[in-house]
Every structure is written in structure tokens, then in C-alpha cells.
């Protein structure tokens, strides 16, 4: 297998494992040819796997550490990863769910709270008064009648530009999550403005670096049409 196909092969492996897995488990799912090419064995350590892959993958994937365990992930919204891990048939204990995911307790709590507040998940109690989480079919909070009734005149290019000036702190760029939180617009309205300004070439967006952002900050970035999470914006005018 030519080296250039290794990232695609790893992507295929991750796609079959909900988009992430423990690094130490990856060699067992590699083809014999790939293991030989990389100089890995079925029982190679996580550190050995990372050392072999870092240069080849070229930032295509995310490496995350949780305690003593190292994971490899396909770049995605942390909230989408948690949501996709919820069972379809019954509620699950948040503690059990957290153990199966590559997030520490603090990050997982922030992500789950975001899912609940946005209406994409809900917490229920069983007959022992124990919390359980389940995916919700309800509309997200950003689609509620209260938000839809806000006059559209509040969502203007001028207010977006003003928010950029107030957030840049002398830098040439602003993190998208800061703009989103500063304005407090409905998510779809904010994203539409970003697309419009980008298409008009008034702004330029840059891919997010998941290694320097908290999960909720990454989640409040902007996912473009190529499924790339954008983290910063520069004003061209």
C-alpha cells in the first residue's frame, strides 16, 4: 500500500468505529501491509503508533489524551460525536457514556450541557432517581418561537462588523466562538452572515486548531461545506 493511501485507510477504520478509537487498538485493525510499511506490530504501544503516524497524517486527524489513554479522532464537532454515541433504543447513564468517549469529565459535562440546552439531548430520571441521557427529537433552542420573533433588523452586517472591532483586541483575526458569543445571534443566522461575508470576500476564515480550543469553543466555530471546522476570521476590508 503506497504511503499516500495510509490516511485514507485510517479514515476508513475510524468511520467503522464512530470516528474515533484508542491509538493502541489501531494496529490490530490495520492491514498486514500497512503494519509492515509503518514498522508496527499488532501489540505496538500507543506512543509507538503516534510516533509513526504524526508525520504521515499531516494534521488530518486529532490526537487527544484522556488520563493515560491516547485517542485518534476524525475532526468533528465534539457535540456531534457525543450525540452519535447515544444509543438509539434506550437512555444511558452519563457516567457510562463518558467512559466510552475521548473527553475528560469537565469537557464531557460542558458538551452534554450544550446538547441539553440546545434541545438535541435530554436528561431523564429512572425509578431510582438516577440521571439518564437520551437523544431528543425536539427542535433546538435556536429554533424556538421566542428567537424567531426577534426583528431581523437586529442581524445586520454593521453589527457584525462592530462586534469584530470590539473583539479583535488589536489582532488581525478574531476567534469565531468569541464573535458568536458576543453577538448572541441564533446559530443559523450567525452562520448565514459568515457565509455571506465570505462569499462577498469581505472576510476570510481559517481552519480551527482543536488542540488549543476547549470542546465548547471548538463547537462554537463554523463548519463549512467541506466539513472543515473554521476557528478564526479575518476582515479583508
Look up the domain containing 111 and give its range.
78-138
Residues 168 and 190 in one domain: yes
The angle that helices 157-167 and 187-199 make with each other, rounded to 10 degrees, is: 90
- In the listed set 122, 138, 154, which residue is the last one of a domain according to the structure? 138
Enter the DSSP assignment of 154: G
Q: Are residues 183 and 127 in the same domain?
A: no
DSSP 5: G
The CATH number of the domain holding residue 82 is 1.10.10.10
Res 109: pLDDT? 87
Residues 119 and 150 in one domain: no
Task: Tell me, yes or no, whether 166 and 229 share the same domain.
Answer: yes
**Mean predicted confidence (pLDDT) in 202-229:** 84
Residue 3: predicted pLDDT? 46
In the prediction, which pLDDT does 170 show? 61
* pLDDT mean over 206-229: 83
pLDDT of residue 153: 62
Q: Are 131 and 91 in contact (CB under 8 A)?
A: no
- Mean confidence (pLDDT) of the chain: 82
Quote the cell numbers at residue 149: 420573533
pLDDT, one tens digit per residue, over 69-128 is 999 988 777 788 888 888 777 899 999 999 989 988 888 888 888 788 778 888 888 888
What number is the average pLDDT over the span 186-214? 87
pLDDT of residue 149: 39
- CA–CA gap between residue 26 and residue 114 (Å, rounded): 30
- Picking from 30, 51, 73, the residue at the C-terminal end of a domain is 73
50 and 87, same domain (yes or no): no
Q: Are residues 62 and 19 in the same domain?
A: yes
Same domain, 216 and 164: yes
Write the pLDDT tens digit of every residue in 26-74.
999 999 999 999 999 999 999 999 888 877 876 678 888 888 999 998 8
Q: How confident is the model at residue 180 (pLDDT cuts 50, 70, 90)?
A: confident
> Looking at the structure, do residues 173 and 204 belong to the same domain, yes or no?
yes
Note the pTM of the prediction, 2 decimals.
Answer: 0.55
Question: If 0-12 CB within 10 Å is exposed, 13-18 middle and 19+ buried, where does residue 232 land?
Answer: buried
Q: Are residues 167 and 153 in the same domain?
A: yes
Residue where a domain stops, chosen among 73, 92, 118: 73
Indicate whether 22 and 100 sit together in one domain.
Answer: no
**How large a percentage of the chain has pLDDT more than 70?**
88
pLDDT tens digit sequence for 164-174: 887 766 677 88
How many domains are there within the chain?
Answer: 3
One domain for residues 47 and 82: no
Same domain for 69 and 102, yes or no, is no
Torsion of Cα atoms, 177 then 64 then 134 then 89, to 10°: 140
Q: Note the pLDDT tens digit of each residue in 129-146.
A: 889 998 886 544 443 333
CATH of the domain at 65: 1.10.10
Amino acid at each position: 500500500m503506497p504511503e499516500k493511501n495510509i490516511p485514507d485507510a485510517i479514515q476508513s477504520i475510524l468511520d467503522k468505529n464512530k470516528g474515533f478509537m484508542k491509538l493502541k487498538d489501531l494496529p490490530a485493525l490495520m492491514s498486514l501491509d500497512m503494519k509492515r510499511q509503518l514498522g508496527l506490530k499488532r501489540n505496538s504501544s500507543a506512543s509507538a503508533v503516534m510516533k509513526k503516524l504524526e508525520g504521515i497524517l499531516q494534521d488530518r486527524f486529532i490526537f487527544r489524551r484522556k488520563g493515560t489513554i491516547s485517542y485518534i479522532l476524525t475532526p468533528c464537532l465534539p457535540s456531534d460525536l457525543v450525540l452519535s454515541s447515544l444509543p438509539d433504543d434506550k437512555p444511558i447513564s452519563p457516567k457510562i457514556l463518558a467512559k466510552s468517549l475521548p473527553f475528560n469529565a469537565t469537557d464531557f459535562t460542558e458538551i452534554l450541557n450544550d446538547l441539553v440546552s440546545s434541545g438535541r439531548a435530554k436528561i431523564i430520571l429512572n425509578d431510582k432517581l438516577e440521571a439518564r441521557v437520551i437523544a431528543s427529537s425536539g427542535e433546538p433552542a435556536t429554533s424556538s418561537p421566542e428567537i424567531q420573533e426577534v426583528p431581523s433588523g437586529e442581524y445586520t452586517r454593521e453589527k457584525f462588523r462592530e462586534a469584530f472591532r470590539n473583539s479583535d483586541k488589536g489582532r488581525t483575526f478574531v476567534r469565531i466562538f468569541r464573535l458568536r458569543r458576543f453577538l448572541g445571534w441564533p446559530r443559523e443566522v450567525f452562520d448565514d452572515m459568515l457565509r455571506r461575508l465570505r462569499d462577498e470576500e469581505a472576510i476570510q476564515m481559517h481552519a480551527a486548531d482543536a488542540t488549543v480550543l476547549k470542546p465548547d469553543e471548538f463547537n462554537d466555530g463554523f463548519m463549512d461545506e467541506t466539513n472543515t471546522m473554521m476557528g478564526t476570521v479575518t476582515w479583508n476590508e
